[in-house]
Chains A and B, each alone.
Chain A
Amino acid sequence: MEWQTVIIGSGVAAAAVASKLLDRDPGHALLLLEAGPRVPSKDRRLWWDFVLSGRSAYDHCHDLPLPGDGNTETENESTGSTPWTFRESRMMGVGGSTYHWGGWALRFKDEDFKLFSRTGRGADWPISYDDLEPYYCQAEALLGVSGEDPHRWNRRSREYPLPAFKQTAADGPMIQAFEQLGIAYASMPVARFRKCMTTGTCKYCPLGARFVAAYLLDALVESRRHPNLALQPRRVAAELVFDRKDRVIGARVLNTSTGESRSVFAERFVICAGSYESAKLLLRSRNSHWQNGAGNDAGLVGRHIISHPFLYVQGRSRDNPQRLQQELDFPTLMSRQFDTSREQAGGKLFLFRDRSKPRIDLAGRMIAGRSRQEIDAELTGPTLWELQGFMEEFANPNNRIELGQGLNRLGLPQTRIHFARAEGFEQTSAERLRVMQEVIRAMGLEVGESGVQPQRGDHAASTCRMARDRQDGVVDEHLRVHGIGNLHVCSNAVFPSGAAVNPTLTVTALALRLGEHLAS
């Protein structure tokens, strides 16, 4: 065999599996295939361009907008009654979506692993919080998470590796409202290393102070300890090749730089291609053994797609005498008060203060010729505040991802998502919004605009969900595809349910657990 292991994708899941495999066996013959290009990191020119134009260095690695709104280029398809937003919902390049992630790093809670048993909705995980707890600790160390848990929202065997960021002055009014209403709060745990200089351009950090999987992969590749490690950008795994039903022997790979296609062979394959592509690669791998796609005899690949409904409530203060502005590019105030087993049946709610408000675009005002006095009057005048929240979403088998027509500009197949909100969502989201409106009122503000943002795919999950039984899921508790001995999937795709908080710390913990399992 050419390789011991081939990993498809190069995001945080891939990097964490790779780091574990190499940690145990530095000589491991390991190939990572990445469909997208390499994006230069910590590049001063790209950083200045980002500061001045707001255009990121990796715009070309995003999905293009859906048809409509005068867009000239279009990709993907959203069918179903609730439109699905693809734009910027993932990044296709070395380092994957952690290139543009916010770095919020939260653990799921005990009850999140038992959703079905507790509520009769969604699915249980075949593993428990305690199974994952040691890997959560490792994941927090790997990502460099700064955090605090004064309310013991999670049972933990190790404290956060770095202290929490202190709350900003602009958090003050909302903190007071939380206290008045008896809502417990804490600082948002974020993956920011010790060297962070609070520069606030986190989508393209000039210092490499926010975790990006590309940094970890570069360090692994550059280390002399790993002579048999290779990372190949612009290589799309187009299809898996089987010699018998329960064994993959190769992957057909398209080199998008040359247009050539060739197969790579390995003892084992791990698909870390994100929630969209992991399912799509299985669906593309149709052959005489797997007529509906690899691992898809039960027809579950691509089904149950979820993300997080994004709730928001705004309020406007009459004035802002302290000229409070949002001074960091990430939130420092959150609450898990409504992310408990009490709320689970209706959909848990995770609250946080908007990371971009209050903010007056000073540069825009100056460019528009406003004088210092005019700008100052605006800064101390009426000010917009916003409380936001993620709600837990319940999976529905009819909500699904499918292969679209043709390929995108990176050589990956187009995506079609069929999605509709769960029955009763209107009512439960309205209840959750009322809780949020109370906070805005306790701030002494009149409630302004509030509602649910259009569904985004940032936290897409559950398209290859994990279950002990092959009738219930695509992979088993060790993330092995049911019925295929040497094929694993590691991505948010394997989550049986999505909880209310961001997914990446959990997928990193799963990846470290998988890496350890494979290495042993």
Chain B
Amino acid sequence: MHLGARSADVLPERLLESAPGELSTAELAPLWELFAEIGQAWGDGSLDPRRQRSHWLEFIDVRTRTEPSYLAEYRSAVLVLDELRQQHGPQMWHELFFGSVRTEAPTTRRGHLRRYVVEEFIKVWLTSGGFKAFGAGNYNSYVSGSRFAVKQPYRLAARVTSTHQ
């Protein structure tokens, strides 16, 4: 079989069907690497991905254990990531985020990886704190914290002269 053959498998556009279940630690590892690489590509270096891990794990858990389950989708992604690594080496992330894989329609295994995994992981990366790299103090779907906390959970208006006339 030639390099990347499974990645080119033709699939229906819809989510791959599977019963709810759990990913093994070995399956989680390449997916976590993908998530951390998103931070490498767009982050400003100030956010340690380990601080996003519990959020990401909860996301994976909910996505795999409840209907419709992403279990088959994630297992397929692991396979494609492996083939991309063999094909492109360290360049694989660039291919995936900015290169030809980015625009691949979700009618192949590779396209599925983009639609159902990379694009969703990008959103999870932003909502688990990645947005801060772009200067904001809060972001829709980021559990920022209580407004009664000492540190305000969003950027406040500069002191204004008065709210009274």
Residue ranges of A at the interface with B (Cβ–Cβ < 8 Å): 44-45, 48, 51-52, 148, 150-151, 165-172, 175-176, 179, 182, 184-186, 194-201, 206, 322-325, 327-329, 362-363, 366-367, 369, 371-372, 375-376, 379
Contact = CB atoms under 8 A, between A and B. Distances in A.
B142 A199 contact: yes
Contacts of A148: 163
A328 B144 CA distance: 10
Given A166-B147, A179-B161, A328 B134 contact: no
A169 B157 contact: yes
B157 A175 contact: yes
A52 B120 contact: yes
Interface stretch (B29-37, B59-67, B85-93): B59-67
A150 B163 contact: yes
Q: Which of B59, B124, B140, B152 has the most CB of A within 10 A?
A: B140
B50 interface: no
A400 B41 CA distance: 56
Nearest to B162: A179
Contacts of B165: 151, 182, 184
B160 A175 contact: yes
A379 B44 CA distance: 15
Contacts of A185: 163
Q: Which of A148, A366, A369, A379 has the most CB of B within 10 A?
A: A366
B80 to A, nearest CB: 18
Nearest to B141: A51
A151 B123 contact: no
B137 A323 contact: no
Interface residues on B, range: 35 or more
A178 to B, nearest CB: 9
A363 B134 CA distance: 12
Nearest to B144: A198
Q: Which of B42, B138, B146 has the most CB of A within 10 A?
A: B138
24 contacts: A48-B59, A48-B63, A52-B123, A165-B147, A167-B157, A167-B160, A168-B155, A169-B158, A172-B157, A172-B158, A179-B160, A185-B163, A194-B148, A195-B146, A197-B143, A198-B144, A198-B147, A199-B144, A323-B136, A327-B138, A362-B139, A363-B126, A367-B122, A372-B43
B152 A166 contact: yes
B87 to A, nearest CB: 19
Given A51-B127, A199-B143, 9 more contacts: A150-B163, A200-B139, A323-B134, A327-B139, A327-B155, A362-B134, A367-B122, A369-B97, A371-B42
A238 to B, nearest CB: 34
Given A329-B140, A367-B119, A197 B145 contact: yes
Contact of A186 (B122, B123, B163): B163
**7 pairs of A and B residues whose beta carbons are closest in the complex:** A323-B135, A169-B155, A200-B140, A327-B138, A327-B154, A167-B157, A172-B157
Contacts of A151: 164-165
Given A51-B141, A197-B144, A198-B153, A363 B136 contact: no
Nearest to B125: A366
Nearest to B122: A366
B53 interface: no
User: By DSSP majority rule, is chain B's interface helix, strand, loop, or mixed?
Assistant: loop
B122 A196 contact: no
Interface in B1-60: 38, 41-44, 58-59
B154 A363 contact: no
Contacts of A372: 41-44, 133
B154 A328 contact: yes
A324 B137 CA distance: 9
Contact of B137 (A206, A327, A375): A327
A319 B43 CA distance: 22
B164 A362 contact: no
A186 B162 CA distance: 10
A98 B127 CA distance: 25
A184 B164 contact: yes
A44 B123 contact: no
A199 B147 CA distance: 11
Q: Which of B59, B119, B141, B142 has the most CB of A within 10 A?
A: B141
B75 interface: no
Contact of A176 (B131, B141, B160): B160
Given A150-B163, A186-B163, A362-B131, A166 B136 contact: no
B150 interface: no
A150 B160 CA distance: 14
Q: Which of A168, A194, A379 has the most CB of B within 10 A?
A: A168
A45 B66 contact: yes
Contacts of B63: 45, 48
A376 B131 CA distance: 11
Nearest to B43: A372
A200 B147 CA distance: 13
A395 to B, nearest CB: 33
Contacts of B158: 169, 172
B132 to A, nearest CB: 11
Contacts of B161: 179
A158 B135 CA distance: 39
Contacts of A329: 140
Contacts of A200: 138-142, 144
A367 to B, nearest CB: 5
A362 B157 contact: no
Contacts of B164: 150-151, 184
B101 to A, nearest CB: 10
Given A48-B59, A182-B165, A369-B98, A201 B141 contact: yes
Contact of A51 (B123, B133, B146, B155): B123
Given A197-B143, A198-B153, A328 B138 contact: yes
Contacts of A206: 143
